[in-house]
Amino acid sequence: MTDGIAKARTGISGFDELTLGGLPAGRPTLVCGSAGCGKTLFATTFLINGARDEDEPGIFVTFEERPVDIVANVRSLGFAMGDLIERKKILIEHVAIDPAELAEVGDYDLEALFLRLELAVDEIGAKRIVFDTIESLFSAFQNPAILRAEIRRLFDWCKEKGLTAVITGERGDGALTRQGLEEYVSDCVILLDHRVHNQVSTRRLRIVKYRGTAHGTNEYPFLIGEDGFSVLPVSSLGLGHKVYDERISSGIADLDAMLAGGGFHRGSSILLSGVAGSGKSSISASFAAATCAAGERALYFSFEESAQQTVRNMRSIGLDLQPHIDAGLLHTVASRPTFYSLEMHLALMLREVQRVRPALVVLDPISAFIDSGEQLEVQAMLLRMIDHLKSEGITGVFTHLAHSQGEAKTDAGLSSLMDAWILLLNRETNGEFNRELYLLKARGIAHSNQVREFVMSDRGIRLVPPYLGANGALTGSARRFEEARERREEQARMAEAAQRRELVAQRRRRTEAQIEALRADLAADEMELHSLSEQEADHIRQAEADRAAMASGRGAATGTRDDR
């Protein structure tokens, strides 16, 4: 039970979310539109998904196509309707009405049809029913009073039986249907539209009314493809997305190093803008390759080159994407911007995102859509894409071709919506073009404000630290010439310093030799002085001995004389 009324899920991607649960259960729904807009497919998808996924058998009442044709038509979209018929989950009732064989008299009505359908309902226990199309059923009625009465009776009969009914109808002149009554007695009215603008066709769906419940009221693009009928309720996106502190690598180590903590936030929107040939696609491919190298899936939308051309071109910078494609990690989608309308491009991209469930999505380039519609239409389409990626926590990388050098804006006016902006420049100096990279902004991350020279080679992408010369930052051959000159000057200074060191060493050796000679002379003088000192000491000792001897001799002589 949703919003006070029971709802029957259709199983149509996006539509059940748009209607908050599906179609009104046990009530009639009118699906109207011009020829070729997808009414029968919508009704068939509703019936098949109910029988297959919701255990609600259904009856397909056709007034135009044969049962075998209906089964063949839906088989091309991957629906095994024949198997459901064999299992008594679906019953096809082909009611052929030829107005030429009928005569409308008095109380002519559809009583016989109701009896036939009641038997079919009882046979399989039907919960759902499809009438395709109502114009064929009422083509025999010429009396407007009887026609209106039988239309009301048909809708009331569906309600009495508790059948969730889908009734298809052709678009009328100035009204939703040809009879102009079905839309008023239906509880839910869905308008399908197939329009062509600038030779580009677009299918759109609008819920005109839905009694008893809230629902989306805008026009929504829908797809009819190999995956069946799908609707994308893109307008329900908002700003309630989750944010991440986790970082992802750009695949370029020098670029990651320009951000504090290394890398960009997961789930952020990253804009690469620059003139032609500045390296936008190469950086976006590096993002995708780094994501795949981490074991996550990446989805690459290319609007100017084929997938094979992108793979070949990236090999020239040492980046081989083919192994990631073969491993099922990198999914590529290439299409011209003018091939579909803006709404259809958006629907296709969102469907691929839902199918692949990537961690990173690349749109290369978004400027290709500028010629596909008005600026506000392009901005609205890309805004919805950005919001959807953020709501899913998917990192988005968007490239944009700038028309002038260093242009700090985009034609689509989306720069303010981006979390990070990498500006790529091509500068002509000394007869050559040199690439430069400037990290214009990175919300929530401290980052370098330096302009880096952007160098691509077969060894990959490098960001060369800036060289600041006397006349400003130098790049390319001017930087290499200046660096070579500085190296020569440095080598000359080193040679001069080595020569000076050798001269000092020679003087040190001469001085040390002289010091050694002086030390030897000093030692010789000291030895000579010591010898003289010794000799002088010996002389003094001898003199003292001689005096002592003389003194002793005189004393002996005096004593002798006294004795006499």
The CA-CA-CA angle for residues 240, 245, 251, to 5°, reads 115
* CB-CB contact of 95 with 61 (8 Å): yes
Residues belonging to the chain: 564
* Three-state SS at 309: helix
Pairs from 500-503 (Cβ < 8 Å, separation ≥ 24): none
403's tokens: 């028309």
* CB-CB contact of 249 with 65 (8 Å): no
Q: Residue type for 550, please?
A: M
* CB-CB contact of 297 with 358 (8 Å): yes
186's tokens: 């239906």
Per-residue DSSP letters for 66-97? -HHHHHHHHHTTT--HHHHHHTTSEEEEE---
The rounded distance, in Å, linking the Cα atoms of 205 and 349 is 18
Nearest to 27 by CA among 46, 47, 4, 5: 5
* Three-state SS at 285: helix
Q: Is 3 exposed, middle or buried (0-12, 13-18, 19+ CB in 10 A)?
A: middle
Which residues are marked as active site? 64, 304
The rounded distance, in Å, linking the Cα atoms of 493 and 380 is 62
The reply to whether omega before 133 is within 30° of 0 (cis) is yes
The rounded distance, in Å, linking the Cα atoms of 516 and 1 is 111
Which residues does residue 92 pair with via DSSP β-bridges, in sequence order? Answer: 60
The rounded distance, in Å, linking the Cα atoms of 239 and 241 is 6
The rounded distance, in Å, linking the Cα atoms of 310 and 290 is 16
